[in-house]
Amino acid sequence: MKKKIIAGLALTLLTSFGGLSAEGNSYADVPQNHWVYAEIDALVQDKLIVGYDAAVYDKNKVATRYEMARFLANALSKYEQADTQQKTKIDRLAQEFAVELNTLGVRTAQTKQYLPQEPVQPAKETKAKKTSVTIDGETLIEAMDVDSVEHAGSEAYNWRQRLHINADFNDRVSYKSRIQAGGKFGSGNSSNEMRFTRSFIQVKDFFGVNQFQAGRLPLATGRYMAMALQGDADGFALRHQFDKTRLDGYWVVPEKDTHVRGVNLNFAPEKSFEYNIGYIAADTSPKTSTPAANYVDAGLSWEMKKGVTSVLNYTKSDAPGSPNAWAAQLSYNWVSGKRQTGFYTYEGLVNNRVPHDQAIAIIYRDIEKNALPGHYGNFGGFGKVDQNGHKGFMLGYQNMVMDGIRLSLQYQNLEEKTTGDRDHRYYGAFDMYFN
């Protein structure tokens, strides 16, 4: 009896707050002379109400609306077995107890039409999402010396300024660009004017592909190893991730009248290890007189222990003589432990967000003439060793000397493969990042 009184009080409170109407009070008694007693009893006799409910139903005992709804729910479960006359009874009862049945979680075609309809809410006006735009940049000041090249005054000193503009139009479409200018100290000529070296649209979930890019793109085959190709080029690229495998495809024009097409598969079975295989087809490069050829490329990156990483890459061409190129790098970052996924200088040795981060790398390479498509990689020569292929090593060091300022030092010792001439390059630079 106490439970019934408490439940009744709870329902009264719900009714006062708009939870249930008085007509839908499941604990209200159904008057003894109400027609539903006879209808429910008929369904019991017809065995459309069965089991425990049929056993406890008593047409001579006052029942609550909740109890009546429970008996009716039993009959609704056998609705398809009822004849026409029985269905008429069930439908009539469903109309009477639609609210109680709904409270019990019973919603059927018979009850739904009798439930009060929720008012249709007018569509809310929403403001269009504003485009999110960020701008950051970097300033480079560098000095270099090549033994076989005579430098006159400021010719040894260069500067470069970059501005990056990133705009997110919505969750899928964004725009990315890079405005760049550079030149020699004191040159003061029009070549120092800024121009867009990158300007492309990026779309996520492009007809089932994770990412699509079109415009002037950052060009790099493979993951980050990019021995054969690196730079900026006009065209489009696709990227899709299959669990631990990533597929890249691209068709670009890095220079006038030169088309480069390729695909690359990158596998990363573990966080510390990944490898890639790729195919590249390139037209003749008028800029460097490189013949049209096809190239196969394979590389790997392995973090042997925290901060110690090795990177290997091999490329073979079907140009005359079937030239090939390979490079190996060992790096060590003893502050942040940054893992190298690609070759220095395409990828920095330090984390630009970690002050005083430091790292060193040594790279050995052996590049035969025409083994790479054009001079788009990190492994072009200089001075005496610029044209006919070369081999030798580079030693690099980087240090985030303070927030936003990076020091880079390099030394290269290369030998031309045809003549045996050797040349040396010394390089130092400050990169300053801002946002």
pLDDT digits (tens, 9 = 90+) for 324-360: 999 999 999 999 999 998 888 888 999 988 999 999 9
Sign of CA dihedral 44, 45, 50, 55: positive
pLDDT at 27 over 70: no
- CA–CA separation, 372 vs 345, rounded Å? 17
Q: Work out the mean pLDDT of the chain and round it to a whole number.
A: 82
Q: Which residue has the higher pLDDT, 104 or 145?
A: 145
pLDDT of residue 423: 92
Average pLDDT over residues 115-142: 76
Average pLDDT over residues 365-387: 80
Pick the range with the lowest mean pLDDT from 64-68, 199-203, 208-212. Answer: 64-68
Q: Which of 67-76, 213-222, 384-393, 394-403 has the highest mean pLDDT?
A: 394-403
- Tens digits of per-residue pLDDT, 223-272? 555 555 667 889 999 999 998 999 999 998 887 778 889 899 999 999 89
pLDDT at 61 over 80: no
Task: Please report which confidence band the pLDDT of residue 142 belongs to, taking 50, 70 and 90 as the band edges.
Answer: very high
The CA-atom distances, in angstroms, between 349 and each of 168, 268, 362, 366, 398 are 29, 21, 11, 22, 6
pLDDT of residue 254: 83
Burial string for 401-429 (b: 16+ CB within 10 Å, else e) reads eeebebbbebebebbbbeeeebbbbebeb
- CA–CA separation, 166 vs 178, rounded Å? 9
- Tens digits of per-residue pLDDT, 270-282? 989 999 899 999 8
Q: Which residue has the higher pLDDT, 66 or 338?
A: 338
pLDDT at 7 over 50: no
Q: How many percent of the chain have pLDDT more than 70?
A: 82
pLDDT of residue 12: 39
pLDDT of residue 19: 35
Task: Please report which confidence band the pLDDT of residue 154 belongs to, taking 50, 70 and 90 as the band edges.
Answer: low
pLDDT of residue 10: 40
Pick the range with the lowest mean pLDDT from 13-22, 322-331, 395-404. Answer: 13-22
Pick the range with the lowest mean pLDDT from 4-18, 131-145, 284-298. Answer: 4-18
- CA–CA separation, 33 vs 64, rounded Å? 13
Q: Which residue has the higher pLDDT, 100 or 283?
A: 283
pTM of the predicted model over 0.75 = no
Task: Please report which confidence band the pLDDT of residue 17 belongs to, taking 50, 70 and 90 as the band edges.
Answer: very low
Average pLDDT over residues 203-216: 93
- Tens digits of per-residue pLDDT, 303-313? 999 999 999 99
Task: Please report which confidence band the pLDDT of residue 127 belongs to, taking 50, 70 and 90 as the band edges.
Answer: low
Task: Please report which confidence band the pLDDT of residue 41 belongs to, taking 50, 70 and 90 as the band edges.
Answer: confident
Task: Please report which confidence band the pLDDT of residue 430 belongs to, taking 50, 70 and 90 as the band edges.
Answer: very high
Q: How many percent of the chain have pLDDT more than 90?
A: 39
pLDDT of residue 101: 77
Average pLDDT over residues 145-157: 79
Q: Which residue has the higher pLDDT, 115 or 322?
A: 322
Closest CA to 422 of 392, 395, 387, 388: 392
* Right CATH for 132-434 from 3.30.2130.30, 3.20.20.80, 2.40.160.10, 3.40.440.10: 2.40.160.10
DSSP one-letter code for 77: T
pLDDT at 136 over 90: yes
Domain boundaries defined on the chain:
2-112, 132-434
Average pLDDT over residues 282-301: 87
